Chains A and B, each alone.
Chain A
Amino acid sequence: MEIAIIFKGKEIIISETVISLLIIAIFLIIFALIVNFKVKKAKTGEAPTGLVNIIELCVEMVDGMVRDNIGEKHMSMSPFILTLITVIGVSNISGLFGLTPPTGDYGITLTIALIVFFVNQISHVMSVGGIFKYLKSFTKPNVIMTPINIISEIANPISMSFRLFGNILSGMLITGLLYGALGYFAPLVTPLHLYFDIFVGLLQAYIFTMLAMMFIGSSVSE
Chain B
Amino acid sequence: MLQGISSEAFVLGCSAIGASISMLAGMGGALGQGYAAGKACEAVGRQPEAQGDITRTMVLGMAMTETNAIYGLVVAIILLFVRPLLAGL
Contact indicator B70/A170 (Cβ below 8 Å): yes
B35 at the interface (CB under 8 A from A): no
A217 to chain B, nearest CB (A): 15
A31 at the interface (CB under 8 A from B): no
The stretch of B3-11, B13-21, B40-48, B60-68 that contacts the partner chain: B60-68
Select one of B59, B60, B64, B73 contacting A166, CB under 8 A.
Answer: B73
B50 at the interface (CB under 8 A from A): no
A173 at the interface (CB under 8 A from B): yes
Number of chain B residues close to chain A: CB under 8 A? 11
A55 at the interface (CB under 8 A from B): no
Contact indicator A204/B63 (Cβ below 8 Å): yes
Contact indicator A162/B74 (Cβ below 8 Å): yes
Interface on chain A toward B: helix, strand, loop, or mixed SS? helix
A163 at the interface (CB under 8 A from B): yes
Contact indicator A173/B60 (Cβ below 8 Å): no
Number of chain A residues close to chain B: CB under 8 A? 13
A196 at the interface (CB under 8 A from B): no
Residues A163-222 near B (CB distance < 8 A): 163, 165-167, 169-170, 173, 203-204, 207, 210
Closest to A106 in B: B74
A159 at the interface (CB under 8 A from B): yes
Contact indicator B73/A210 (Cβ below 8 Å): no
Closest to B72 in A: A166
B58 at the interface (CB under 8 A from A): no
Residues A126-146 near B (CB distance < 8 A): none
Contact indicator A203/B71 (Cβ below 8 Å): no
Select one of B59, B60, B67, B77 contacting A169, CB under 8 A.
Answer: B77
Contact indicator A210/B71 (Cβ below 8 Å): no
Q: Which residues of A contact B74 (CB under 8 A)?
A: 162, 165-166, 169
- How far, in angstroms, from A207 to B60 measured CA to CA in the complex? 7
Select one of A165, A169, A207 contacting B63, CB under 8 A.
Answer: A207
Binding site for B on A (CB under 8 A): 159, 162-163, 165-167, 169-170, 173, 203-204, 207, 210
Question: Which 5 A-B residue pairings sit nearest by Cβ, starting from the closest?
Answer: A166-B70, A207-B63, A163-B67, A166-B74, A166-B73
